[in-house]
A and B are shown apart, each in its own frame.
Chain A
């Protein structure tokens, strides 16, 4: 087969032997009227660099995702259909630690092919579009790995680097300097097909398949720092109206639109994120490949608003009659549009009535997954193993074990360093950017994200010794960004009151054991401060909402109107957990930096964490009270020494097996100490 490109892009695309190949491949006799063929268009989308099914932070395989399993679906589809074309719809080169490694840590060299492209070329991809996340590492990297020469900044690079080995098309993004499309807007592929002649006999023929790419125009906002002033975007409809007639004029008999976006029936705008509801209405598209939204289409059961619109047939997979597919994400699915083609003696046309659209899943009916294609791992084993080494690279050391087994009773060994990192970040940010908050005390809230909810092994537990990137994921589980809110003293107290809902109300007069922890209140909502400036008591004998006592800043009672900046995360600042007053309206810092990365940077700078400096500070204690009976809680067995090391002399183990059959031990806390 032969891709041909618009003439002004030919120099950018390094398939110099294309013309020679074409001379040989054009040898088929023209099909006679009535010749029929089936052509299956296969789509992957939003692979996000999940080349193999692996979680680089848990350092374990993950069968639920990865192009290595999609490869098996592709191989099966090629057995099922006589003629196939395989396309990817972008968001291809970003999304895993492997991608970061190849882009940022040890960037691929000009003559090296990106890991995912090595695999895609081997899998025989026929073309690809570009997604918004493909711009995340900047235009220079994108140009390099996709074998392009972008003329956007100064002068274009002298030579093209190793590209993906198949055409990449994008029609609606232009260089500001040249006004020309950044990539070839379209390509026309001479696809050899096995067909059936009008006489019923098998024949070989060629179908000219045009592919045209679109991406969401919102890239300009999302990657402003890389793209502002360098590129412009055009509406999907405008680009389609410009190029589709040109493609037809150049002989395209079948046109496939590879559009990284979903559907939106809001009034059309050239800058809308998901403009494909309108793209589908532009005449001349025979198959529409969607992406970006991370969902499946067709799907008769879908409740997703974008698939419950007029003229969208979510069961058959059509949008305004155009066969359409979206193959979910991370290689979990393969989209298939089975086009029935008929030749009228002059050219091929699509019989839309006989078109079938489906998606195929790597997960089978019995919930197991199809086998991975072992060749995929072999192709990227070096990159994969280098990424694992990178994730395990120490960024610092800790001389104490950082764990959450006793966080509910005051162990801050896995919490203080998070608060320190967050506080440092906000202080520096305020000093540099928010002079109006100079002098406002900065506090930080953090919680133990793991506390046995998912079983006895579900705790944060980082051993003393080297701290690597994957340890940071244990210390900070959630994919949050660092945010800070401005609160007054009353708001701060209300926040702490809500957090103290973690505890049941204890009756001091009861002689029977009383459970300390309210299981309906998750540990990730038990926000605590670990600042030497702030102190408070939690009186668990009082009703929720009345438990915070002796709230002091620098030894003085906190006034209701006193201002604070509180470092937290986007989830809490935006209303997660339904904390009073926290709903996004108090946010004063919405950092682009991930909370986990802020922690990693703090550890990197600190180099060595010590318990005294980073794991022993507490701002809160239980209000002292003598109880007639024991106050008990459950945690993993065999850990009492960690409570001792944390200075919790009021904690005792009652039974190493609490008798509830889940492997937990029963501990007691003496509230009188």
Chain B
């Protein structure tokens, strides 16, 4: 039986051949037989991180990428942020710095404070960097007001 990764790769190749996605776009998510394919965003995020860390499940970076892409497709910025690092390092996928920047931008577009801060840290123009930090501060205030308390303990 064909493994999920091979089938997912074949599906992506067929999609590319059919003109369904251009090489410059972010990878499609939610191929039905990928891990997490039917999970909601938060569940796919949790499973993706568990695959990445080997937390109660066999460590599998490629499965982590698949799950995080699933979460990202459902607008979970934390998944986009983690994906930006994995893609930057070639962890679980081919190394692709341009795709890493796009994932970071997508997380920043959703006002994810850590993504805005990282963009500021990578920004060469000090004025733009300062603006991004102010944006990060503003975005963090939403979270601060929302989560005025501890995260769930593990």
Residues on A close to B: CB < 8 A? 48, 55, 64, 95, 132-133, 136, 218, 221-225, 266, 293-294, 303-305, 330, 429, 433-434, 436-437, 454, 478-481, 483, 486, 522, 524, 570-571, 574-576, 578, 581, 583-594
Contacts and interface: CB of A to CB of B under 8 A. Distances in A.
Interface of B: 46, 49-50, 52-53, 55, 75, 78, 81-82, 85, 88-89, 105-106, 109, 111, 113-114, 117-118, 121, 126-127, 130-131, 133-138, 140-154
Contacts of B82: 575, 583-584
B52 to A, nearest CB: 7
A222 B117 contact: no
A147 B88 CA distance: 52
Contact of B53 (A95, A133, A437, A581): A581
Contacts of A480: 117, 140
A586 B145 contact: no
Contacts of A223: 145
B148 A583 contact: no
Given A578-B89, A584-B78, A133 B146 contact: no
A575 B76 CA distance: 14
Contacts of B75: 266
16 contacts: A64-B131, A223-B145, A224-B145, A225-B148, A434-B150, A436-B153, A478-B117, A478-B136, A571-B117, A576-B117, A581-B53, A583-B49, A585-B49, A588-B154, A589-B151, A590-B151
Contacts of B152: 588
A589 B138 contact: no
A584 B148 contact: no
A182 to B, nearest CB: 18
Given A64-B131, A581-B53, A583-B53, A592 B149 contact: yes
Q: Which of A483, A524, A587, A593 has the most CB of B within 10 A?
A: A587
Contacts of B53: 581, 583, 585
Contacts of B154: 486, 585-586, 588
B78 A479 contact: no
B81 A575 contact: yes
Contacts of A574: 78, 81, 114
Contact of B150 (A578, A581, A589): A589
Nearest to A227: B145
Contacts of B78: 574-575, 583-584
Nearest to A221: B146
Given A132-B142, A574-B78, 6 more contacts: A55-B130, A481-B144, A483-B151, A574-B114, A583-B53, A584-B78
Given A570-B140, A583-B52, A583-B53, A304 B146 contact: no
A305 B109 contact: yes
A541 B114 CA distance: 33
Given A224-B148, A570-B140, A434 B153 contact: yes
A285 B78 CA distance: 36
A266 B75 CA distance: 10
A578 B85 contact: yes
Contacts of B153: 434, 436-437, 486, 588
A275 to B, nearest CB: 15
Given A434-B150, A592-B149, A136 B135 contact: no
A588 B151 contact: yes
B116 to A, nearest CB: 9
Contact of A575 (B114, B146, B151): B114
Among A221, A524, A578, chain B packs the most CB atoms within 10 A around the CB of A578
Contacts of A304: 109
Nearest to A304: B109
B102 to A, nearest CB: 9
A133 B141 contact: yes
A585 B109 contact: no
A575 B135 CA distance: 19
A129 to B, nearest CB: 18
B150 A429 contact: yes
